[in-house]
Chain A
Amino acid sequence: MRWLEKQRNIIDFTLSSLLRRKTKNIALMLVYTLVVFVLASVMFFAGAIKKEASIILRDSPEIIVQRMVAGRQELAPVGYMEVIKKIRGVQSVRGRLWGYYFEPVAGANFTLMVPEGGAEKGQIEVGKGILRSIRASEGDMLSLKSYNGDWVLLKIKGALSSESELVSSDLILISEEDFRRVFGISKEYFTDLTLHVHNSMELNTIAQKIQDLYPDTRPIVRDEILRTYDSIFNWRSGILLVIMSAAGLAFIIFAWDKASGLSAEEKKEIGILKAIGWETSDVIVMKFWEGTVISLSSFLAGIILAYFHVFFTSSTLFEPVLKGWSVLYPHFRLTPFIDEAQVMTLFFLTVLPYTVATIVPSWRAASVDPDSVMR
Chain B
Amino acid sequence: MIELSDIRKVFNSGRSNAFTAVDGVTLSIDSRKITVLKGPSGSGKTTLLGIIGCMARPTSGRIQLTGQLTRAVTFSVEGAAAEVTSLPERFLTEIRRRAFGFIFQQFNLIKGITVLENVMLPAYPMGEGFKPLRERAAKILSDFNLSGKLFAKVEWLSGGEAQRVGIARALINDPTVIIADEPTAHLDTKLSGEFMGIVERLKGEGKTVIIASHDPIVFDSSVIDRIVEMRDGRISGGH
| Chain A residues in the interface with B (C-beta under 8 A) | 1-6, 8-10, 12-13, 16-17, 19-21, 269, 272-282, 369-371, 373-375
Contacts A276-B122, A370-B56, A374-B46 known; list 20 others, CB within 8 Å.
Answer: A2-B127, A6-B127, A8-B130, A9-B124, A9-B130, A10-B124, A12-B130, A13-B124, A16-B113, A16-B117, A272-B109, A277-B122, A277-B125, A278-B122, A279-B90, A279-B125, A369-B50, A369-B55, A369-B57, A374-B50
Q: Which of B50, B55, B105, B125 contacts A6 (CB 8 A)?
A: B125
Most chain A C-beta atoms within 10 Å of own C-beta, residue among B117, B124, B173, B181: B124
Q: Which of A9, A10, A16, A371 contacts B50 (CB 8 A)?
A: A371
CA distance A12 to B110 in the complex (A): 15
Q: Which of B96-104, B197-205, B221-229 contacts A (4 or more CB under 8 A)?
A: B96-104
Contact B125 A375 (CB under 8 A): no
Q: A8-B130, A16-B117, A276-B102 are in contact. Are A369 and B125 (CB under 8 A)?
A: no
**Does B169 count as interface, using CB distance less than 8 angstroms?**
yes
Contact B93 A278 (CB under 8 A): yes
- A375: nearest residue on chain B (CB-CB)? B46
- List B contacts of A274 (CB < 8 A): 93
Contact B104 A5 (CB under 8 A): no
- List B contacts of A5 (CB < 8 A): 127-130
Contact A279 B93 (CB under 8 A): yes
**Does B186 count as interface, using CB distance less than 8 angstroms?**
no
Contact A275 B124 (CB under 8 A): no
Contact A373 B108 (CB under 8 A): yes
CA distance A278 to B169 in the complex (A): 13
- A13: nearest residue on chain B (CB-CB)? B124
- List B contacts of A273 (CB < 8 A): 110, 121
Q: Chain B, 19-56, contact with A by CB distance < 8 Å: what is the 0/1 string?
A: 00000000000000000000000000011011001011
Q: Which of B53, B117, B126 contacts A13 (CB 8 A)?
A: B117
Shortest distance from the beta carbon of B25 to any chain A beta carbon, whole Å: 16
- List B contacts of A8 (CB < 8 A): 130
- List B contacts of A19 (CB < 8 A): 112
Shortest distance from the beta carbon of A287 to any chain B beta carbon, whole Å: 14
- List A contacts of B121 (CB < 8 A): 13, 273, 276
Q: A6-B124, A275-B104, A374-B50 are in contact. Are A17 and B113 (CB under 8 A)?
A: yes
Contact A373 B104 (CB under 8 A): yes
CA distance A6 to B128 in the complex (A): 7
- List A contacts of B108 (CB < 8 A): 272, 275-276, 373
Contact B50 A272 (CB under 8 A): no
Number of B interface residues in the complex (CB < 8 A): 39
**Does B6 count as interface, using CB distance less than 8 angstroms?**
no
11 A-B pairs whose Cβ atoms sit less than 8 Å apart in the complex: A9-B130, A13-B113, A13-B121, A16-B112, A16-B113, A17-B113, A20-B112, A276-B97, A278-B125, A371-B50, A374-B104
**Does B89 count as interface, using CB distance less than 8 angstroms?**
yes
CA distance A10 to B117 in the complex (A): 11
- List B contacts of A12 (CB < 8 A): 124, 130
- List A contacts of B120 (CB < 8 A): 9
Q: Which of B110, B125, B128 contacts A282 (CB 8 A)?
A: B125
CA distance A17 to B114 in the complex (A): 11
- List B contacts of A20 (CB < 8 A): 111-113
Most chain B C-beta atoms within 10 Å of own C-beta, residue among A272, A369, A374: A374
- List B contacts of A369 (CB < 8 A): 50, 55-57
CA distance A269 to B110 in the complex (A): 7
CA distance A35 to B112 in the complex (A): 30
CA distance A369 to B169 in the complex (A): 20
Which residues between 69 and 127 of chain B lie within 8 Å of chain A, taking CB atoms? 89-90, 93, 96-97, 102, 104-106, 108-113, 117, 120-127
Shortest distance from the beta carbon of A353 to any chain B beta carbon, whole Å: 27
- A272: nearest residue on chain B (CB-CB)? B108
Q: Which of A9, A10, A21, A374 contacts B105 (CB 8 A)?
A: A374
CA distance A131 to B88 in the complex (A): 76
The list of the 9 closest CB pairs from A to B, nearest first, reads A277-B97, A20-B112, A2-B127, A371-B50, A6-B127, A371-B55, A9-B124, A276-B122, A371-B56
Contact A280 B89 (CB under 8 A): yes
Contact A277 B117 (CB under 8 A): no
Shortest distance from the beta carbon of B180 to any chain A beta carbon, whole Å: 11
- List B contacts of A4 (CB < 8 A): 127
Contact A3 B127 (CB under 8 A): yes
- B175: nearest residue on chain A (CB-CB)? A277
- A16: nearest residue on chain B (CB-CB)? B113
- List A contacts of B93 (CB < 8 A): 274, 277-279
- List A contacts of B56 (CB < 8 A): 369-371
Shortest distance from the beta carbon of A264 to any chain B beta carbon, whole Å: 13
- B46: nearest residue on chain A (CB-CB)? A374
- List A contacts of B123 (CB < 8 A): 9
CA distance A12 to B134 in the complex (A): 13
CA distance A278 to B172 in the complex (A): 14
Contact A374 B125 (CB under 8 A): no
- A285: nearest residue on chain B (CB-CB)? B125
CA distance A373 to B57 in the complex (A): 15
CA distance A1 to B47 in the complex (A): 38
Contact A275 B55 (CB under 8 A): yes
CA distance A9 to B169 in the complex (A): 16
CA distance A3 to B143 in the complex (A): 30
- List A contacts of B46 (CB < 8 A): 371, 374-375
